[in-house]
Structure 1
C-alpha cells in the first residue's frame, strides 16, 4: 500500500491546505486514531488520520475542507485539549505531495545488477549473515562517530576529506580494523578482478544514514582511489540510482559531483534496490563514468511495492587509495586527465 506523503509547506503556501501536522498526539501517547478523528471532526469532515512518522506521537489530520483545518488550528494550537486527556497540541500546516518523486516516478528499480546493463556493476545478495551484520553494527557503535550535517561517519586507513573529495596519502590512520578482516577475505571471490593487487583495500568509510537521508550524485574522485569500490549495506534498505551525464555539461569541473543534476543533460538513468547485507561492486565503467546517487526518500517504490527505509542504514565502503595519476579509459570524466 502506498501511503500519503505530507510535508511542511513553504511560508505562505499552506493557508489553503486541508491538512494539519499535530504533535503530542497519537498511539504512543495513548490516543487512538479513532479518538483523534472523533475530536477533530467537531471542526468539519475528517478524510483521514495518518502517522506523521515512526514515533507514534505525531499525526497528520486530513480534513475534507481547508476551512475546517483553519478552525481546528485556531482553536487547538498550543492549547490543552480536554477531549484528548488535556494534552497541549502543537500544530502546523501540512501539504500533500506525491509519495514517489524523482527516482521512482520514471526510473524502474531493478533487483539484480545485470538488468541495468552497466559494465562493471555487480550486486551480491546475502554477502554476510544476519549474525555477522549484527556484529559489524555493534563494532562500529562501540567506536566514536563523527557528525556531518545529515549523517554520521567513521574513517579507517585514511580520512576522507569532504571539502576536496579526496584523501591525503601522507595522513595514514593505520590498518583497517580487525572486525572487517573476513570481508576483505571474502571479496577475493568476486568475478572479473584481473589484478589481485586491486584487492589490497586500505581505506574504509562507514556512513550512517537516518531515514530520509540520501547521497548527492557523484563519481568518486578518480585521482583519489583505484578502480574497485565495494559498498556493503547494513541495517536498512535503499534504492541507488546511476546517472550517465554528457561530459560537456560538467566535466570542466575538477570535482566530479553534480550540485544541480537536473540542469545537466543526461544520457541515461537506472536504479537498483540494495537490500541489507548486500555487497555492491563498482568497477570499470560503473566506477569511472556513472554518477551514483541515493534519493532522499523515507519510502522507496520497488516493483510497485512501497518499501519503508529502516530507522538507520549503515554502509561500509572499501577503497584503495591511489598514489599516482589516474589513467583510466574515461578521460572525459577524469580529473587527472581532464
Structure 2
C-alpha cells in the first residue's frame, strides 16, 4: 500500500522524534521491516513511512526524542552495515496535521479472488512478450488523439468523453487486424459463461505516462454491455475499486469526514479494495464488478505492493474491449444504472423481463 507520510521535509536542525532518511527505502532494496529493525536498536519505532513517491526516502518516527537523537548521531553520514553499507543522509522532520484530503491506506491484492468482488477476474500472462511487442508496435504506427494527460485511440466506435457514451450511428469500421489474436483468446476465456458468444465491437487504447491515473467511474451502463476486458501492456499499475451503498461517489474530503464521524447525516458507507495489474495481464469486469463498483487508478509514479516499491514504467498502454449496447440497460443494479433512472426505461425493462428476453449483456 502507498501512504505518503504526514511529515514535512527537513527545514533545519532542530531535533524531533521523526527522522527524514535519504538513500533508504524499497527502491534501493531495503524493506520497511528491515529499516524498522535497524532503527529499532536505538529505541521504540512508532512507524516507518514513505517520505515521497520515490521509494528511496523514508520517515522513521520514534516514540522518544532521545531515541531519534541517538540514531541521528550514530547513522547520519556513515555506512550502515545492516543496511548493505549504505551511507544514510538524515535530517529531522516535523509532523504536519493532515490536509482535508489525505488518502487512507488500502492493501493491494495480487489475485482477483482475494478481493471477493463478484464478476472480477484477472489472468496473468494473458499474452506473450512477443505478442505484447507486436501490439505496441501496431498502435505506435497509428495516429493518437491527445487528451489533457494521456493519448487515446478508438476503434469500432469512438468514446465521447463529454457524455461518457458512444454515438451508435457513427460506426468506424471493424476492429483492426492486430486485435484479432487478442479477441480469439478472449473467446476462450474460461472464467465466465458467455465469453465465447460476446462479440466485442469497440476498442479504446489508452497510453498513460508515468504518474498519470484514471478518474473514478463506472462505465456508462447504457453505453456498453456486461463484459469489459482490459489488457495491460508495457507498464504496471494498481487499480482501486469502491462500492457505495447508494451508488454515490463521495469526494475524499467527505469520505474522511465520515470516517471521523463528522456530518454523519451525509455519509455513505463504502468498501474499498485494490489489485495489482502487471504487464500482459487481462482484467475482466463483469456482473457486479462491472455495474456497481467504481474503478480508478491513482496518480502515483510508484506503487507499493507487499512492502515493495514498483515504479511505473515510461508508459502504460491499455487495450479495453467492450460491446456497444444498442438498447437500454436492464441490469440488476438500478441504483447505478443511467438507463433505469427514467421511468420509461423501467417499463421497457419490465416488459423485456416478462417476455423472457432479457440479456445479461
Task: Identify the TM-score tier after normalising by the shorter chain.
Answer: 0.5 to 0.7
Aligned to 1:230: 229
**Structure 1 Cα separation of the partners of residues 291 and 4 of structure 2:** 35
Where structure 2 has 5 or more consecutive residues not aligned to the other structure, the ranges are 13-19, 25-55, 59-93, 256-267, 342-361
**Structure 2 Cα separation of the partners of residues 96 and 231 of structure 1:** 41
Q: Find out whether 1:194 has 2:185 as its counterpart.
A: no
Q: Given the two structures, how large is their TM-score scaled by the length of structure 1? A: 0.68
Map of 1:1-338 to 2, 5 A cutoff? 17=11, 48=22, 102=103, 105-191=104-190, 193-195=192-194, 198-247=197-246, 250=248, 258=249, 260-263=251-254, 265-338=268-341
Indicate if the aligned counterparts of 2:218 and 2:294 stay in contact, CA closer than 8 A: yes
**Structure 2 Cα separation of the partners of residues 61 and 134 of structure 1:** 34
**Structure 2 Cα separation of the partners of residues 234 and 111 of structure 1:** 17
Indicate if the aligned counterparts of 2:186 and 2:195 stay in contact, CA closer than 8 A: no
In structure 2, do the counterparts of structure 1 residues 49 and 115 end up closer, same or farther at CA, with 3 Å as the change threshold?
closer
**Structure 2 Cα separation of the partners of residues 222 and 302 of structure 1:** 32
**Structure 1 Cα separation of the partners of residues 172 and 2 of structure 2:** 45
User: How big is the shift at 1:140?
Assistant: 0.4
Aligned to 1:10: none
Indicate if the aligned counterparts of 1:198 and 1:228 stay in contact, CA closer than 8 A: no
Q: Deviations over 1:132-187 (max 9, x none)?
A: 00110010000001110000000000000111000000011111000010110101
Q: Deviations over 1:271-305 (max 9, x none)?
A: 00000000000000000000001111111111111
- Alignment coverage as a number of residue pairs: 257
Aligned to 2:359: none
**Structure 2 Cα separation of the partners of residues 96 and 209 of structure 1:** 33
Q: Deviations over 1:164-218 (max 9, x none)?
A: 0000000111110000101101011223543357521000000000111101110
Higher strand proportion: 1
